[in-house]
Each structure stands twice: as C-alpha cells, then as structure tokens.
Amino acid sequence: MPVKKLWKTCYELSRGHHLVYVFSLLSQILMVFCSVFSTFLIKVLLDTLGGLDELLSAPFFEQWVITILTQGRGPGYLIANQIYILPVAVVSFGAMTAIASFLRMSLRSYAASAINCSMQLTVFFHLESVSYPYFKKAKGGDLIQTCTRDLDVIRKFMIADLSNFNYTIWMVLFCFLFLLGLSWELTLVSMALFPVMFIYSFLLIKEVRKRYRKTDDSEARMTDRIQENIGAVRLVKAFNSEKREVENFENYLSDFRKNFISWRKMSSFFFASTDILVFGAKLISLIYGIYLASQGIINPGTLVVSFLFVNMMVWPIRDTAMSLSNLGQYLASIDRIRLILDEPLEDLESGLTPSISGHVVFNDVSFHFPDGDKDAISHVSFEVKAGQTVAIMGKTGAGKSTLALLLTRLYETDSGSIKIDDYDIKTIQKHHLRKNVVPILQDPFLFSKSISENILMANQKADLPQLKLATRVASIDETIANFKDGYETQVGEKGMSLSGGQKQRVAIARGLIAESPIIIFDDSLSAVDTETDLKIRRNLSTLERKLTTFIITHRVSTAKDADLIIVFEDGKVSEMGTHQELLLKPGLYKRIAEIQGRMV
C-alpha cells in the first residue's frame, strides 16, 4: 500500500520528534476551533441585538452557548449585559486563537528543524552503514538526489502539506457543523460547488505542475550547457567553436522560453478559473442566504455568519486540492528513500578480534561480481608469510584489485577461503579486519580538511611523532614542511590543490599511520615517479614493525624486490615466484620485464 509506505517512512524519518509534531497539530486544531467559535459569537451578538424573541428561537447549541456565557442566567441577562459579555467573549476567543496560533508556529518551527535534522541523519546513517556493493548497484547521482531533493519533498509534505490537511479538515468540519446547526438548506446549497472545485483544482494543477517540470528541465539543460562550456573552455577555443556554442545555447534558451510561457499561461488560467469557482461558491451561498432570509427561514445573524463560514472553508479546500495533487511526487520520493532505508545494514561488530601478525593464505578462492558475467578471480591460491612483501602483476582487468576487495571483506568470496593468521576472515569482526588490513588506493581522495586531519582520520590516537614518521616514510614530509601552514594546510575542493603525486603520498601516509600489520598498495605506488617509489619502498623496509605488504603494480622495477611476485591473467594465477625465478620462465612477467627493460 503506497500510502501506508508514506506514513511508515515519515514515522521512521521523524523518530524522536513525534510528540512535538502531534502537539503542533493539536494546537492547530485549537486555533481553528477558537477562530470558528469567535466567528459564531458574531451570530450570538446579532441575535442579541435582535431581541429576546430572536434569542429564544435560536438553535439549541446557541442556547447552550448563551447559558455558558451568562453562567445559567439566560437570554434576558445577556440582553441586559450584552454591552460587556459578548465583546469580552469575542475578544477572549480572538486572544485564544492568537495564543494557539503562536503555540502552533513555535512548535511547528521546532518540529520542522528537528525533523529536518532527523531525516538527514537517518538517511546519512543508513548510507554510511550499508555494505559496499550497494554503492556499485545504486547510482551516485540518484543517491545524491534522494538525499537532497527527495528528502526536501518529504520534509515539505510533513511540515507544510500535512499541516494544511489538518487545518482544512478541522476548519471544514467545525464550519460544517456550525453551518448545519444554523440551516441545513443553506449548508447543502453553499457546499454544492465544493466537490466540483476540489476535483477541478486537483486535476488542473497536475497540468500546471507538468509544465513547470518541463520548464525546470529545460533550465537544468541550460545550466549543464553553461557548466560544460566553462569546463571545456580550452577545447572550445582550440577548435574555434565559440560561435557554434553560442548558437547552440540559443536553441536551449528558446526551448526554455517556450516552456516558461506555456507554464505561466497554464498557472494563470488555474488561479483565475479556481478563483471564479471560489467566488461562485460564495455568491451562491450569499444569494440563497438572502432568499432564505427574505422568506423568514433564517435570520440576519445566520445569513452573515453562514457567509463568513463559507468564506473560511473555500480557500483551504482549494489549497488542499493543490497539495493532494502532489501525492504522486511524494510517493515517488518515498520509493527512492525506501531504496536506501530498506537496504540491510552491514554487520561490522560481530566476530572475532584476534591479534594479527599478517600471515595471509588464499586457498582456492573464486569470486564473481553480482553483475559480472564471469569470475573476476578463479581458483586463486597463494601464501604470504607475516612481514613479507608480495607484488601482484597483470594486465588491466586481470583481477588484481579484486584481491584487495576480498581481503577487506568489501565483497565476500564465493568459494574457497582466505585466512589471516589461521583465522578464516569470515569469522573476524569486520571493524577489526579493516583496522588490520589497510588499502591505499590508486586514486586517493582527500577530504576538504587540513593535511593532518586527512592523515589522522586513519588513526585518531596518533601523536605528532607518529604523524611525522608516516609522512617521512611516505616521502611527503619535506613538501609539507615547505607549505606556509605545514600540516594545517587545507586541501581538497576549498583548499590548496595538491598534485596527483603529492595527494598519493598523503594517502600513503594516511595508510601507514593506521599501523596495521597488512597494507595493500593498490596501484598507488605507480602514481608516483620511479625514484619516489623506490624511496618509499626503502623507507618501508626501515620500519621497526614488519608489514605484510601487497603491492599491486604494473612496474617490474617496483615488483622485482618483492619476496613473492604473483602474475594474474584473466582472473587466474598464471605465474608465481621471485623476480629471478620468473625471468627464467617464458611467461607474461618475462615479456613485461623485457619491454620495460627496453624502455628504460
């Protein structure tokens, strides 16, 4: 049931703030009641001015009101004291309306900000806690849209539209009940146009929205065009394309203008025609009310107050029809939000937490990606002793990086086993495993923070000497020292831009400071020049603690000193041995070594 899903999601997203939300709706109901009741008091006032007969023939609930206002003394007492009782009552209820309105606005603002935070946090928490393969399945752009636009749609639904529904329902209900008590004929005639107005507004606003979306889309296309042209300015200039690009942009512009005019026309028509219906409903009520009054069926007090009630009902009905027509958009947004919320969270906490020295054994491991058509790695077996360095080589797509994904359990093996220090990694707690096996990726990402914050995110407890050691081993210490702000230099989007090699070395320092016994350089040394590569590897060998080091690389010069070199071809291990051993075999490694040897 889509509507049930909508409720469930709103309930989940606003967890912890339900009470304040409900109170904001209750204060709105109180506000509506007070405003309807203070309007009704105008009838009591007019009837009182009309004299005793008028009051005695008033509907039963008006009699109750008089009894309450006069504390049981009756209509005669009210007529004698109307000079103060009624104005005081009208002002008191007006003041209560104002207090309830203030209460509602305060609670609503509080609920709005609290719910907004809780929505963002709930979705962000989920995104941070789902497993890695989910991000491969879901498209990044879609996720960002869900976190921004879809959440905004639901926030508006909860804060604005639900409160509008609440307002309309109670306003129509209270006005309807009072109106019915005053004159059922007038109620029927006055409300006859309401369903027509509601359905008409509901259907027509959909067309307005459709045209608005088209305008929005063409505006987005224009923005994309501008963005692309700014990004590709060199290309445009290189091929003398300035004039063509401007002409092209004019097409986008005229498309936008066409859509914009069509949207504005439709929305003007919507507001004009629904206004006519609203005024039509009021006119019918007034004319029929005058007719009933001229026949003596209702008195002037009923005529005036009925007209006021109709006036109070019509506008919220039109607004609710407009909000309700958004239901399709709410449901679509909810579907996208549910794709995140329904994703199971990754279990990071259960499992063993043994101390790890770094002995790694792959035993007949096979794996294929959920959407892959063949095994990414197939029947892979090898052993690396604690403290050894193993180089993984092979062509692009041979399965090298998949090893790193499996070793950190971002994906689980399909068959075979991976053991670290004799523990099958599936039995080790994921948090613990990822503390002990650290990958350094080829394309390093630095957050918009300082260099030290970027490095320390791998180990919050590290002190300055540890920070300095990590940057020295990564051979980036001197570069950082030359920056004006040293370790506090801001990097990332809003900070200083580092070269690819510098970023890479900061990422290596970040990997090293984690002080894990197993480290994987996933093509990351290939991004630095050969000299720095050699320097970093030399620095690594001087470390007191011995690391089990996996180096995924294309360079023979990087691989040749490793204790073990494993060559991958098409997901399988094709060769394994030391540099000298592999040079004796007529395989891929020898061929690569010869080619790279010739290039030097």
399 binds ligand ADP (CB under 6 A): yes
531 binds ligand ADP (CB under 6 A): no
Structure tokens at 391: 């180089």
User: Alpha carbon of 163 to those of 317, 373, 492: distances in Å?
Assistant: 13, 51, 42
Nearer to ligand ADP, 48 or 378 (CB): 378
Site string for ligand ADP, 87-126 (x = CB under 6 A): ----------------------------------------
Closest distance of CB 573 from ligand ADP, Å: 12
Rounded to an integer, what distance in angstroms lies between the CA atom of residue 480 and that of residue 444?
17
HEC secondary structure over 565-594: EEEEECCEEEEEECHHHHHCCCCHHHHHHH
Nearer to ligand ADP, 113 or 381 (CB): 381
CA angle 514/520/522 to nearest 5° reads 125
Rounded to an integer, what distance in angstroms lies between the CA atom of residue 259 and that of residue 268?
14
Find the farthest-apart pair of alpha carbons in the chain and give their distance in angstroms, rounded: 121
Query: Which of 168, 166, 159, 207 lies closest to 330, judged by CA?
Result: 159
Rounded to an integer, what distance in angstroms lies between the CA atom of residue 198 and that of residue 277?
10
Segment interacting with ligand ADP (CB under 6 A) among 190-198, 393-401, 413-421, 579-587: 393-401
Closest distance of CB 554 from ligand ADP, Å: 10
Among 360, 398, 428, 470, contact with ligand ADP (rule: CB under 6 A): 398
Among 70, 122, 401, 548, contact with ligand ADP (rule: CB under 6 A): 401
Rounded to an integer, what distance in angstroms lies between the CA atom of residue 44 and that of residue 47?
5
Judged by CB under 6 A, how many residues of this single chain contact ligand ADP? 13
Segment interacting with ligand ADP (CB under 6 A) among 236-244, 397-405, 459-467, 532-540: 397-405
Among 211, 400, 430, 503, contact with ligand ADP (rule: CB under 6 A): 400
524 binds ligand ADP (CB under 6 A): no
376 binds ligand ADP (CB under 6 A): yes
Closest distance of CB 564 from ligand ADP, Å: 17
Among 76, 397, 486, 500, contact with ligand ADP (rule: CB under 6 A): 397
372 binds ligand ADP (CB under 6 A): yes
371 binds ligand ADP (CB under 6 A): yes
Q: Are 242 and 235 in contact (CB under 8 A)?
A: no
Closest distance of CB 370 from ligand ADP, Å: 7
Site string for ligand ADP, 3-42 (x = CB under 6 A): ----------------------------------------
| Residue 17: φ, ψ to 5° | -130, 20
DSSP state string for 385-432: -TT-EEEEEESTTSSHHHHHHHHTTSS--SEEEEEETTEEGGGB-HHH
Nearer to ligand ADP, 372 or 597 (CB): 372
Q: Name residue 130's beta-bridge partners.
A: 345
Nearer to ligand ADP, 77 or 369 (CB): 369
Rounded to an integer, what distance in angstroms lies between the CA atom of residue 343 and that of residue 430?
18
Query: Which of 369, 443, 451, 372 lies closest to 413, judged by CA?
Result: 369
394 binds ligand ADP (CB under 6 A): yes
369 binds ligand ADP (CB under 6 A): yes
132 binds ligand ADP (CB under 6 A): no
Closest distance of CB 166 from ligand ADP, Å: 47
Q: Strands 437-441 and 518-522, how do they pair?
A: parallel
Structure tokens at 275: 């206004």
452 binds ligand ADP (CB under 6 A): no
Query: Which of 342, 348, 6, 26 lies closest to 154, judged by CA?
Result: 6
Query: Which of 138, 120, 122 lies closest to 12, judged by CA?
Result: 122
Nearer to ligand ADP, 403 or 480 (CB): 403
Nearer to ligand ADP, 400 or 430 (CB): 400
Q: Are 423 and 354 in contact (CB under 8 A)?
A: yes
140 binds ligand ADP (CB under 6 A): no
Among 97, 388, 402, 408, contact with ligand ADP (rule: CB under 6 A): 402
237 binds ligand ADP (CB under 6 A): no
Closest distance of CB 549 from ligand ADP, Å: 17
301 CB-near residues (< 8 Å, 6+ apart)? 42, 43, 44, 45, 46, 47, 50, 54
Closest distance of CB 398 from ligand ADP, Å: 4
Segment interacting with ligand ADP (CB under 6 A) among 278-286, 295-303, 396-404, 592-600: 396-404
Closest distance of CB 595 from ligand ADP, Å: 18
Closest distance of CB 372 from ligand ADP, Å: 4
301 binds ligand ADP (CB under 6 A): no
Closest distance of CB 381 from ligand ADP, Å: 17
Rounded to an integer, what distance in angstroms lies between the CA atom of residue 594 and that of residue 584?
12
Closest distance of CB 173 from ligand ADP, Å: 56
Query: Which of 575, 568, 576 lies closest to 552, judged by CA?
Result: 568
Q: Strands 389-394 and 564-569, how do they pair?
A: parallel
Q: How many helices (H) and strands (E) does the chain have?
A: 25, 10
Segment interacting with ligand ADP (CB under 6 A) among 182-190, 218-226, 367-375, 536-544: 367-375
Which residues form the interface with ligand ADP (CB under 6 A)? 136, 369, 371-372, 376, 394, 396-402
